[in-house]
Amino acid sequence: MIAVVKDDAYGHGAEAVAQALSDDALLFAVSSVGEGARLRAAGIGKDILVLTPLLSAEDALRAGYYDLIAAAASAESLALAAGLRAHLVLNTGMNRYGFSPQTIEWACRRARALGVRVEGVFSHFYDAADAEARREQTRAFSEGCAVVRRFFPETLRHLCATGGILAGGEMFDAVRPGLGLYGYAPPPFENSLGLLPAMQVWACVGQETRPYGGGAGYAAAPRAFSALHTLCAGYGDGFFRAGGLDAVGKLCMDACVREGRLPFGKKVCVLDDAAGYAAQHGTTAYEVLTALRNLERQYDG
């Protein structure tokens, strides 16, 4: 298992998640060299793969210093990875990053000439739910891996993220669960495995108010209220300004006004189902989770 903990482990706290999974994961995957460096600073000793290709000489120096595994996806990022550990990225149809099947042999020859220590090769499904697209990408990946292994026989091959796993995709040598680690299935997949959300998000009551005047936050109160309280959570913490959190009207940046009495200092669970909250706002759990910041997290034991 390559545990994907990019973007602060999808809002769950990358250091805490990596420490919790350190006995189970073969390696961890992050989005940037900076994220990898933070895991090293937190004492994570397992291998760390940076999924975004190197972008600068500074990135390359930091990757080497922190013993991170670089992603090499183009002539430019391959050159930056000279002398480093790396996984080659194979473009099988997503067209985000990677060498095409027509150029992967050149990439292998160039990597060998540059002294890149190629330890793996990976790709990504652009629509894991599309069986025909999945078969075509799997075929292209398998053929590309055969080329890579002619040059680097021990390369670790990985293709499936959470969607690919749920679709029954070819596992090769490893899988890269991301969203599934945190208890959610990516759309359009149903949660057939019975995944449970791993985290709750909590906020504190900052004031209880006997209403005065005609407002409720940044709007006129829709009706008369006998009591209101202010919860210290808002769109600055990653929630949607348009509403939610049982707020009266729109959220403020760091607060929301709600109906009823709650005492100062009381902690309130404001999110325990990112998929449900996302559905209310026409988006996905990915967007909800990765936007979260500042608030207290509690984890399922």
Element (H, E) at 72: strand 70-72
C-alpha torsion sign, points 177, 178, 183, 187: negative
Indicate the SS3 state at residue 2: strand
**249 in Cβ contact with 222 (< 8 Å):** yes
The alpha helices in the chain, defined as continuous H runs, are: 6-11, 14-20, 33-41, 57-65, 75-80, 104-114, 131-151, 162-166, 274-280, 285-291
Q: Which residues pair with 89 in a beta bridge?
A: 122
CA 9-10-15 angle, 5° bins: 20
**182 in Cβ contact with 199 (< 8 Å):** yes
Q: Which residues pair with 156 in a beta bridge?
A: 120
- The span from the CA of 16 to the CA of 98, in Å, is 31
Query: Among residues 6, 10, 182, 277, which one is catalytic?
Result: 6
Residue type, position 262, single letter: L
- The span from the CA of 276 to the CA of 62, in Å, is 39
Give rounded-to-5 percent helix, strand, coil for the chain: 30, 20, 50
Query: Among residues 46, 65, 184, 218, which one is catalytic?
Result: 218
**169 in Cβ contact with 160 (< 8 Å):** yes
**Torsion angle in degrees (nearest 10) through CA of 135, 139, 141, 145:** 150
| 267 among known catalytic residues | no
**199 in Cβ contact with 225 (< 8 Å):** no
| 299 among known catalytic residues | no
Active site residues: 6, 218
